[in-house]
Amino acid sequence: MARLVMKFGGTSVADIERIRNVAQHVKREVDAGHQVAVVVSAMAGTTNQLVTWARETAPLHDAREYDTIVASGEQVTIALLSIELQRIGISARSWLGWQIPIRTDGAHGAARIQEIDGTELISRLEQGQVAVVAGFQGLGPDNRITTLGRGGSDTSAVAIAAAIGADLCDIYTDVDGVYTTDPRIVAKARKLDKISYEEMLEMASLGAKVLQTRSVELAMVHRVRLQVRSSFDAPDAPWGAYGAGANGPGTLVCDEDEIVEQQVVSGIAYSKDEAKVTLVKVEDKPGVAARVFGPLADNSINVDMIIQNVSDDGKSTDMTFTVPQAELHRAEDVIRKAQKEIGCKEVKTDTNVVKVSIIGIGMRSHAGVAKTMFQTLAEKGINIQAITTSEIKVSVLIGSEYTELAVRALHTAYGLDAE
């Protein structure tokens, strides 16, 4: 007998028929004798609607009230699923974040989970009751409702799994696993059986949308075994039938030691959410970078890639950096205000860029991985505008019109294409 967390996203609970299907997945595990905690999102589109209403009422609003509004979507789905489970003869009850409680910090709209008391949940599970928990929400230090940021119910699920010591946290979604790259643009993308926490973390933060980045971080810290799988498949074999989920139907996110055949590059991610800012003719002298990036940091703007060219005349140089598109206007504003002090001639921006990244823990022990990337892009006549690397990834900034060409060519170059 195992203890499981089953998380279902918005598309999996989009209407009553799908909620009935979710209940069948839960029933399969309960019938096999497992203890089950379910975490659900709001019905697809609901959270967006709630956010729109909040903004429509007042663009600048009390963040505590925003959270009270947007957390309401999950309240509906936990109760609907509980009713359906009861209807088909399964003991179940709904849990809002505050009823457990899921304690978070006070950063409304982007709160971080600090503590979950799993005692009550565990005792109910042991009595054979299914716990249906609202994802995305928690309780702040002042006892106000908080939310964890968009996509946050993945994080709720992992945190619950850690708190109740679950054997596996299954993330049911509209795709059947994690792919080597986005199957919508590369037909030969392959589903991965396993991926390490480190790689999944890079994939998520570099643009793969399958899991919220924070949830992977949390899974890595608490060593929660995480499986991404589809809720649209008909409920088939229960946990255990696959051997501890290791060769389950989806993709297992786990410790790298569990992965026997490690590829050099495991996946390719891309993000169109990038904007480039270039400061033309910045004075080339000590302290300039601090004058540029100091004010950006003070305004909590996330700078990603940075490049500074050498100057021909020893007096001035161009400096380029990237920020998320949503932060471009603020970044531009901050830079223009500081332009005199920075001493640059002109500020240029470009949103027509994409960041393409290759990811793989095999890179740690292989030379020439970046070279293959640069060569492949050169052969396709794609110009690289900026580069960043870490131990297990290389990212390049290129014109967004080359996204598909670049991702496809790299997918082939690293031997990832499905036969």
Q: Which of 151, 177, 238, 245 binds Mg ion (CB under 5 A)?
A: 151
Beta carbons of 171 and 132 less than 8 angstroms apart:
no
Is 173 annotated for ligand binding?
yes
Distance in Å from the first CA to the final CA of the chain: 38
**135 touches ligand ASP (CB under 6 A):** yes
Closer by beta carbon to ligand ASP, 9 or else 360: 9
Q: Which of 4, 6, 8, 9 binds Mg ion (CB under 5 A)?
A: 9
Sequence-ordered alpha helix ranges (H) in 104-152: 119-126
What six digits make up the tokens of 169?
């946290």
Closer by beta carbon to Mg ion, 138 or else 151: 151
DSSP track, 313-330: SSSEEEEEEEEEGGGHHH
Beta carbons of 174 and 230 less than 8 angstroms apart:
yes
Dihedral angle computed from the Cα positions of residues 172, 178, 182 and 187, in that order, rounded to the nearest 10 degrees: -100
Interface pattern 150-189 for ligand ASP (x via CB under 6 A): xxxxx-----------------------------------
Closer by beta carbon to ligand ASP, 109 or else 240: 109
Q: For residues 147 and 16, give the distance between their C-alpha atoms in angstroms, rounded to a whole number.
A: 25
Q: For residues 166 and 20, give the distance between their C-alpha atoms in angstroms, rounded to a whole number.
A: 24
Closer by beta carbon to ligand ASP, 216 or else 305: 216
Tokens 């729109």 locate to: 52
For 116, phi and psi rounded to 5 degrees? -125, 125
Is 10 annotated for ligand binding?
yes
**Part in contact with ligand ASP (CB under 6 A); list of ranges 14-22, 148-156, 306-314, 320-328:** 148-156
12 contact, one of Mg ion, ligand ASP, none, CB 5-8 Å limit per kind: none
Residues in binding contact with ligand ASP, number by CB under 6 A? 13
Query: Helix (H, G, I), strand (E, B), or coil: what is residue 346?
Result: strand
Beta carbons of 379 and 346 less than 8 angstroms apart:
no
Is 368 annotated for ligand binding?
no
Closer by beta carbon to ligand ASP, 201 or else 409: 201
**250 touches Mg ion (CB under 5 A):** no
Residue numbers belonging to the annotated binding site for substrate: 47, 74
Residue numbers belonging to the annotated binding site: 7-10, 47, 74, 173-174, 179, 184, 209-210
Site residues, ligand ASP (CB under 6 A): 9-10, 41-42, 47, 73, 135-136, 150-154
